[in-house]
A = this chain, B = another copy of it.
Amino acid sequence: MKNFLYPVICLLILPGLTMSENTVRQHNLMPIPQIVEFSYGRFIIDRDFTIELTGACGNRSERVATRLLRRLSGRTGYFIDQGFVELEQTINDPKLRISCKRTGKLDLGEDESYILNVSIHNITIKAPTELGVLHAIETLLQLFETDGKEYYFPVVKIEDAPRFPWRGLMLDVCRHFLPVEVIKRNIDAMAAVKLNVLHLHLSEDQGFRVESKIYPQLHLQGSDGDYFTQVQMQEIIAYASERGIRVIPEFDMPGHATAWFVGHPELSSNDTTYSIERGWGVKDPVMNPIRESTFDFLDQFIGEMAGLFPDAYFHIGGDENNGVHWGKNPDIQKYMEQQGYENTHQLQSYFTDRVRQIVEGHGKIMIGWDEIFDPGMNKNIISQVWSREGMKQLPQILAQDFQVIISNGYYIDLFWSTEAHYLKDPAREDFVDDVALEKNILGGEVPSWAEFNTPEVIDARIWPRTAALAERFWSAKEIRDVDDMYRRLDHVSYTLEELGIQHIRNYEMMLRRLTNNADIQALKTLADLVEPIEDYKRHRFDPDRKYLSYSPLTRLVDVVQSDALEARKFRQMTSTYLVEIKKFDQYKGRKRSSRIKQFKNSTCRLDLVQQMKSWQENNAELQAVMGDSPILNEIKPIATDLQQAAEIGLAAVKYIESGKTASVSWTNDQLSILENALEPKAELELRILPAVEELVRIAGNRPRETEAE
């Protein structure tokens, strides 16, 4: 979690890397703006910092500018004199002058551009709309720096606008409910990285999460009491709007709808009673598409929700209907025969088109997950492409001039590394070969499904990785430097704390709970090196452990994050070490020995060895902390793996430096031990193993055929 410079180049310290003030100056901006031109000099921040609003700025600018004063004041400790920024206020020689041409509308495609100019004496923000002002202020706050003597913004000229107009985060508030304040703090984080769409997944098998005044049994019986009142939803919408973020509601239909049926079984395709689903996975319950009463109900309900949610877009889900209950219902089967439908997808297309008419009847544009797509459908819908099948269809969808939002590759709940997500472009070439069709890609959305989320862990499940995806959706396609992304991400991650995001501070808190408040240092050393297994493997990992909606999410796998930064650091240390050591291949005999001897005192070699030794030394304390604790029992094998890996790694280094190749049997034995260690345990993977394996392979002169890492 800490600031560190990756030791990319051994022995060579880059002088003044963070301080050099030129146009290719290192910075912490994320997303990277379209044009950034640094110049020499700084604007020094002091307590006389003042802000003036001019032009056609509105109240939203007043408030975001006032928040800027508070955030600067909080970071610097300066008692900044100006308390509030007001529209009518004229400031004598203001430090920051903000001007807008108009307030702008919070609609898809509204101008979000801005020009930010920092000179030594003052700062100007010029934006066509307040949306640009909001973005400019976040950029300015990301420019905030200190050299340990003063706080300042570097002199810079930035011209910026988003690549895609739709940059979203989808929160599943159904599988585990997220109360208002969790939504709010995540809205603040979204705004900090220029995301502009909050998609709320509001109904599911496991919960119906918004109050309906027309059909109160929906939320009363479908939510265990955990739902947003309409007043709360208005509060969320207003909060998001203040920050330039549109709120899109999703009511998933016809599948993923068990929670509707608890209060309204008549909507279902199976004449039975329902209770809230506690398990995960795709379930059979599905709406009945052949009763007119279903559409009457949906017309009323969607009408109510269309009034509650002001945005022009309305999401009706449409994913993962397995057709089972349609298959079992004789009336539905008969109807399908009558209509000549050959499969349930055709019936769903009929259903979807009826719902589209309802949605449009209430003045909204329909969005659905990619299953809604049907080549014969009305063009005025948006497909949110998430599945492999959806991606395969993408060229066809785009060619037919349907508009899409890309979510495939962005499922933040899959426990992927940031890098894995970051390199996937919304218009990735393997699917979008015709650049002209990129115009039909509105943008991207990061879905956060909630099987493994609670208010306690949600922030760490979303952040900081989503910040890198926000850059993917905003910045130029060419921005793809992973190392630089990680460097900036580390800083963004820290600044999100200011907005109340809990990802860093809850880490140690949860470790304390695991040890019942004993010293956590030894456990943290291990925790820093492991990541949850990827994809949805957690569900199938242990046949004796079936996750339900009320299962505990407090074990180590819930504590640790998907980018184990310390493990990443170790992998980089190892590659650097191996690059350096390879350089001695050109020497032989005593010449080699004497150079190696010298090299042994180099930082990059000492750090690597010291790191492995420290894991060995940590083991005794770690064993003591784990004891026979039921909650920590499952990670004991990982502690052993770490201990062994450290030992193996140190032995491999010895071989490598000795100039002798390790024996085949030794190499095989170690590789086999490491292979066993690679087997996930406790739903976790020890992420230093690839690097140790690499050391062993080099020691035994058995390089990988294809370099994976």
Task: Report yes or no: A146 in contact with B629, Cβ–Cβ below 8 A.
Answer: yes
Provide the bound-state CA to CA distance between A658 and B684, in Å: 57
Question: Is A70 close to B, CB under 8 A?
Answer: yes
Provide the bound-state CA to CA distance between A659 and B494, in Å: 53
Q: Which of A8-16, A73-81, A439-447, A562-570 contacts B (4 or more CB under 8 A)?
A: A73-81
Task: Report yes or no: B494 in contact with A517, Cβ–Cβ below 8 A.
Answer: yes
Q: Which residues of B contact A627 (CB under 8 A)?
A: 148-149
Shortest CB–CB separation between residue A18 and chain B, in angstroms?
Answer: 11
Provide the bound-state CA to CA distance between A516 and B491, in Å: 10
Which of A229, A456, A498, A629 gathers most chain B CB within 10 Å?
A629
Question: Is A392 close to B, CB under 8 A?
Answer: no
Provide the bound-state CA to CA distance between A229 and B512, in Å: 37
User: Which residue of chain B is the closest to A79 with respect to CB atoms?
Assistant: B551
In the complex, which residues 537-568 of chain A have their Cβ closer than 8 Å to any Cβ of chain B?
A: 545-546, 548-555
Task: Report yes or no: B504 in contact with A73, Cβ–Cβ below 8 A.
Answer: no
Q: Which residues of B contact A518 (CB under 8 A)?
A: 3
Provide the bound-state CA to CA distance between A504 and B505, in Å: 9
User: Which residue of chain B is the closest to A144 with respect to CB atoms?
Assistant: B516
Task: Report yes or no: B504 in contact with A146, Cβ–Cβ below 8 A.
Answer: no
Q: Which residues of B contact A517 (CB under 8 A)?
A: 2-3, 491, 494
Known contacts: A506-B505, A509-B505. The answer to whether A77 contacts B630 by CB under 8 A is yes
Question: Is A83 close to B, CB under 8 A?
Answer: yes
Q: Which residues of B contact A551 (CB under 8 A)?
A: 73, 79
User: Which residue of chain B is the closest to A554 with respect to CB atoms?
Assistant: B74
Task: Report yes or no: A555 in contact with B77, Cβ–Cβ below 8 A.
Answer: yes
Known contacts: A77-B555, A231-B229. The answer to whether A149 contacts B629 by CB under 8 A is yes
Task: Report yes or no: B629 in contact with A73, Cβ–Cβ below 8 A.
Answer: no
Provide the bound-state CA to CA distance between A224 and B70, in Å: 14
Question: Is A669 close to B, CB under 8 A?
Answer: no
Question: Is A483 close to B, CB under 8 A?
Answer: no
User: Which residue of chain B is the closest to A552 with respect to CB atoms?
Assistant: B73
Shortest CB–CB separation between residue A627 and chain B, in angstroms?
Answer: 3
Question: Is A679 close to B, CB under 8 A?
Answer: no
Task: Report yes or no: A550 in contact with B70, Cβ–Cβ below 8 A.
Answer: yes
Task: Report yes or no: A83 in contact with B548, Cβ–Cβ below 8 A.
Answer: yes
Question: Is A180 close to B, CB under 8 A?
Answer: yes
Question: Is A151 close to B, CB under 8 A?
Answer: yes
Provide the bound-state CA to CA distance between A79 and B518, in Å: 23
Question: Is A110 close to B, CB under 8 A?
Answer: no
Shortest CB–CB separation between residue A519 and chain B, in angstroms?
Answer: 7
Task: Report yes or no: A513 in contact with B74, Cβ–Cβ below 8 A.
Answer: yes
Task: Report yes or no: B550 in contact with A278, Cβ–Cβ below 8 A.
Answer: no
Which of A76, A151, A517, A518 gathers most chain B CB within 10 Å?
A517
Known contacts: A506-B505, A513-B75. The answer to whether A83 contacts B278 by CB under 8 A is yes
Question: Is A108 close to B, CB under 8 A?
Answer: no
Q: Which residues of B contact A555 (CB under 8 A)?
A: 77
Shortest CB–CB separation between residue A550 and chain B, in angstroms?
Answer: 4
Q: Which residues of B contact A179 (CB under 8 A)?
A: 181
Question: Is A631 close to B, CB under 8 A?
Answer: yes
Task: Report yes or no: B548 in contact with A629, Cβ–Cβ below 8 A.
Answer: no
Question: Is A497 close to B, CB under 8 A?
Answer: yes
Partner of A2, one of B180, B278, B519, B630: B519
Question: Is A434 close to B, CB under 8 A?
Answer: no
Q: Which residues of B contact A552 (CB under 8 A)?
A: 70, 73-74, 76-80
User: Which residue of chain B is the closest to A2 with respect to CB atoms?
Assistant: B519
Provide the bound-state CA to CA distance between A179 and B69, in Å: 20
Task: Report yes or no: B512 in contact with A497, Cβ–Cβ below 8 A.
Answer: yes
Shortest CB–CB separation between residue A419 and chain B, in angstroms?
Answer: 22
Provide the bound-state CA to CA distance between A78 and B628, in Å: 15
Chain A 158-200 near chain B by CB (<8 Å), digits 1 or 0: 0000000000000000000001110000000000000000000
Task: Report yes or no: B494 in contact with A550, Cβ–Cβ below 8 A.
Answer: no
Q: Which residues of B contact A150 (CB under 8 A)?
A: 630
* Shortest 3 CB-CB contacts between residues of A and residues of B: A148-B627, A181-B181, A77-B631
User: What are 7 sample pairs from A and B whose C-beta atoms fall under 8 A apart?
Assistant: A75-B554, A76-B630, A79-B545, A79-B551, A83-B278, A502-B505, A505-B508
Known: A83-B549, A455-B500. 12 other contacts (CB 8 A): A2-B517, A75-B516, A76-B630, A77-B552, A78-B552, A148-B628, A149-B630, A180-B180, A181-B181, A491-B517, A502-B505, A505-B508
